[in-house]
Amino acid sequence: MTVQMNTGTDMTDANAFRSEVRAWLEDNCPLSQRQPIVREEQIWAGKRRQFPSEDAQRWFEAMCDRGWTAPEWPTEYGGGGLSPEQARILQQEMTRLHCRPPLYDMGLWMLGPALLEFGNEQQKATHLPRIVRGEARWAQGYSEPGAGSDLASLKTRADDCGDHFLVNGTKIWTTRADVADWIFCLVRTDPNVPKQQGISFLLIDMESEGVSTAPIKLISGESEFCQTFFDNVKVPKENLVGTLNGGWAVAKELLKHERKLMGTMEAITEKVDVGIVDLAHEYADINAHGEVADSSLRMAMVNHLMNDAAMQHLNERLYYQHKAGAPDPRLGMLIKHIGTKELQSKDEVILKILGADGLSWDNPSAKPEVHRMVRNWAYDKAHTIAGGTSEIQLNIIAKRALGLAD
């Protein structure tokens, strides 16, 4: 069955829209794509894009054809043209059916929304449709050695050479820059003004002469972060987003989306499809009443479940504020800090439940899902650093949300 879908703002009946979405997903999302995602089967955008199966490709193409990889983006740029309420219904129905995310890309999560606000028509028409269809993979060029949480201290410079900029410098923690097709970068274009006023936002082709990368090996065994070097890289002037020296405004808009993403990482990352209660019944000691015998572990589980529910309510509150056109900016500041801390808290509870198995790193006798849970524990430590360290986030919350003095 193929359902003909009304996807514009003329769809006012939420219940009817939900029914149509549900029918379409049932018809177009293969059963194999309704399983927990594993890292090896994530579909990342780009020229090197690979599909782990025919079902994965079918699901990806179906969502792209609807524009539902970017459901709220305008249809003229390949998006779905959905209202925020319709996009929320789509996400709810995908969650209900356990549909896998059809596409992964920083262009989708962060650059696209910034381009919609600050990009010119040529930039939108050139890049947004390719992002929607996963044809280009993007990396983020923000942090530098000595300019991480204090991002405005960046030193990578872009000299004006008439019809192009000449970029020199280095970026660090550039996620998968070694396989990216493009990178969006903050660069110093005027060193003689206050540091936040002399920054511009550039789009750089990773195949440009003078661009190179060096992967950074992590404790988890992964090497998805890189250091990226720019040595006399020519960047056309048309790749400047926003105004010259106005990149800080673009950066702040993009960081809002990054921090929101960081606060909800569990929704799109690999995880073992088992709740902590079921996990405890498999690995922990259970008393005669069917309860976890260790009272301290039981309390840690309860605390996590309560905090997780509170986090969901916080996201709901922020959504309805946006829908009403009156978002509280203080909530956005909290999402990243609370969400990443709670993700790490869950990892700690899982290791407590696993007991001795939680010490397994590459023990061949341990189950693969145990290896994933332990490696996720190590990997998730990065979330309270990426997008602004927790210490910096707390300072921002203290000053801007609580109004406390320095």
Is 369 marked active-site? Answer: no
> How far is residue 9's CA from residue 85's CA, in Å, rounded to a whole number?
10
Q: What is the pLDDT of residue 124?
A: 97
Q: What is the pLDDT of residue 386?
A: 66
**Interval 387-401: pLDDT, tens:** 667 777 777 778 777
Checking if the pLDDT of 295 tops 70, the result is yes
Instruction: Round the average pLDDT of the chain to a whole number and report it.
Output: 86
Q: How far apart are the first and last CA of the chain?
A: 62
**Interval 24-54: pLDDT, tens:** 999 999 999 998 888 889 999 999 999 999 9
Q: Dmax over Cα atoms in the chain, in whole Å? A: 78
Q: What is the pLDDT of residue 261?
A: 52
- DSSP, collapsed to helix, strand or coil, labels residue 380 as helix
> How far is residue 141's CA from residue 172's CA, in Å, rounded to a whole number?
7
**Could you say which of 20, 93, 144, 258 is catalytic?**
258
Question: What are the chain's domains?
Answer: 14-104 (1.10.540), 138-246 (2.40.110.10), 264-401 (1.20.140.10)
Q: How confident is the model at residue 257 (pLDDT cuts 50, 70, 90)?
A: low
> What string of H, E and C letters represents the secondary structure of 62-124?
HHHHHCCCCCCCCHHHCCCCCCHHHHHHHHHHHHHHCCCCCCECHHHHHHHHHHHHHCCHHHH
Q: pTM to 2 decimals?
A: 0.75
> How far is residue 7's CA from residue 24's CA, in Å, rounded to a whole number?
12
Q: Which residues contact 329 (CB under 8 A, 6 or more apart)?
A: 400
Residue entry with tokens 């269809």: 133
Q: What is the pLDDT of residue 337?
A: 79
Q: What is the pLDDT of residue 265?
A: 46
Checking if the pLDDT of 9 tops 50, the result is no
- For 319, the token pair is 């959504």
- For 21, the token pair is 């979405």
In contact, 350 and 377? CB cutoff 8 Å: yes
In contact, 44 and 137? CB cutoff 8 Å: yes
Q: How confident is the model at residue 358 (pLDDT cuts 50, 70, 90)?
A: confident
Q: What is the pLDDT of residue 10?
A: 47
DSSP strand pairing (164-172 vs 157-160): antiparallel
DSSP class of residue 358 equals G
Checking if the pLDDT of 304 tops 80, the result is yes
Q: What is the pLDDT of residue 387?
A: 62
**Interval 63-88: pLDDT, tens:** 999 999 999 999 999 999 999 889 98
